[in-house]
């Protein structure tokens, strides 16, 4: 059996910060504009007045205090309410796409940490909750820009895209299809959002993570994590959904339909998904004759602080410390597939050789992906 390890990680942080206070100010300005423009219909009872929000509500509901954005312009404009992303963001003959640029920055950090160069990579996977174009693959663009060999492809599994990609790449290395892999997770999730929706306008932020995988015997980096096991689950649900896609242009009336953007039935997700996640992690650990108490750290998906607290309490039978289950969503918000990888990248202090941890992501699908790792 070929042993595979994580030998490097990287994190690209976008240039703009959007605080709860800024986001709510823009949202409330939109609410005032909407209610003013629809005053007669609201008075007649044919249109429902919109309700304002507050930074305190956002933080209490989610644990989020701020988020990063690739493009801030337009997000806070009550007449626009979406990022004004440049038309050339999909790339030109002389300029990489926005997602590729994000991925390249994160990838260079991961490669440096692993002691590798682009030419050492023969598999690139770009995995994210959404991709800015169907083809050519963002991963192939990254492959070209970094001078990687072998092959590359894109994949999507919503918020579990990063862990599913790590597992797929590990299997390819074990099987001899690839020698060394680079996984990138560029998330421009601010563009998923309906910024006019009080219940969800604050959820997402932009970011990109990168991870290098290779055989344990080939690792040269100072800090490596052997993948002891991986486990994946999907179960169909409509409770987290976006309908926007290339077919949307066939129906002009749908372009601004709220159902085209991120839609979530939060209470149903909490009630249905969290038991799946806890059972999945418990089963994964049991496969290796382990329990949650045997883990030094849990790097969990970062969607909502209440979900994380519930999961760790269920697994440990007590409240987890921030060291045991670090939270990064207060700074980054929900970054879809990248969240658990940010936590892993940022919070490895105190992990000694032999210590075990779990990287777990979960979200739309439903989907759950986990990797049990041990520092070597």
| Residues acting as catalytic residues | 159
Cα 78 to Cα 36: distance, rounded to the nearest angstrom: 12
- And the tokens for 86? 């440049």
Rounded CA gap, 274 and 237, in Å?
A: 13
Q: What angle is formed at CA 284 by the lines to CA 139 and CA 172, rounded to 5 degrees?
A: 30
323 — phi, psi (to 5°)?
-70, -40
State the alpha helices, DSSP H only, in 136-204: 138-146, 161-175
Give, for 228, the enclosing helix (H) or strand (E): strand 225-234
The 3-state DSSP class for residue 180 equals strand
DSSP E strands, 235-279: 240-241, 263-264
Judge residue 214's burial from the number of C-beta atoms within 10 Å of its C-beta, 0-12 exposed, 13-18 middle, 19 or more buried: buried
Residue 112, Cβ density class (10 Å: 0-12 exposed, 13-18 middle, ≥19 buried): middle
Q: Which tokens in the block code for residue 19? A: 């605080």
- CA atoms within 13 Å, Cβ hemisphere of 164: 22
């Amino acid at each position: 059996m070929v042993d595979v390890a994580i030998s490097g990680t990287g994190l690209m942080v976008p240039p703009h910060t959007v605080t709860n206070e800024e986001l709510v100010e823009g949202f409330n300005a939109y609410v005032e504009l909407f209610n003013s423009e629809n005053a007669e219909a609201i008075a007649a009872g044919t249109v429902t007045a919109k309700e304002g929000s507050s930074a305190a509500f956002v933080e209490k509901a989610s644990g989020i205090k701020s988020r990063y954005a690739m493009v801030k312009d337009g997000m806070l404009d009550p007449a626009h309410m979406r990022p004004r992303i440049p038309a050339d963001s999909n790339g030109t003959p002389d300029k990489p796409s926005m997602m590729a640029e994000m991925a390249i920055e994160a990838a260079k950090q991961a490669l440096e940490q692993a002691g590798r160069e682009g030419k050492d990579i023969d598999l690139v996977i770009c995995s994210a909750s959404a991709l800015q174009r169907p083809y050519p693959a963002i991963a192939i663009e990254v492959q070209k820009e970094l001078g990687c060999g072998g092959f590359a492809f894109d994949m999507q599994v919503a918020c579990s895209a990063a862990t599913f990609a790590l597992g797929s790449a590990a299997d390819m290395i074990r099987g001899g299809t690839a020698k060394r892999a680079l996984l990138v997770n560029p998330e421009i999730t601010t563009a998923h959002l309906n910024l006019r929706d009080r219940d969800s306008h604050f959820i997402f932020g932009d970011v990109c993570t990168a991870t290098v995988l290779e055989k344990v015997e080939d690792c040269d980096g100072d800090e490596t994590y052997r993948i002891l096991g991986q486990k994946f689950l999907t179960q169909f649900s409509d409770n987290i959904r976006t309908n926007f896609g290339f077919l949307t242009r066939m129906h002009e009336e749908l372009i601004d339909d709220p159902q085209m953007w991120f839609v979530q039935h939060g209470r149903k997700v909490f009630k249905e998904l969290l038991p799946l996640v806890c059972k999945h992690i418990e089963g994964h650990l049991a496969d290796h004759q382990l329990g949650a108490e045997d883990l030094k750290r849990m790097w969990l998906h970062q969607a909502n602080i209440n979900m994380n607290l519930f999961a760790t309490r269920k697994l440990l039978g007590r409240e987890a410390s921030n060291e045991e289950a670090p939270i990064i969503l207060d700074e980054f918000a929900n970054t879809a597939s990248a969240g658990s990888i940010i936590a892993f990248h940022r919070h490895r202090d105190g992990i000694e050789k032999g210590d075990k941890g779990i990287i777990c992501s979960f979200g739309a699908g439903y989907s759950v992906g986990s990797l049990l790792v041990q520092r070597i």
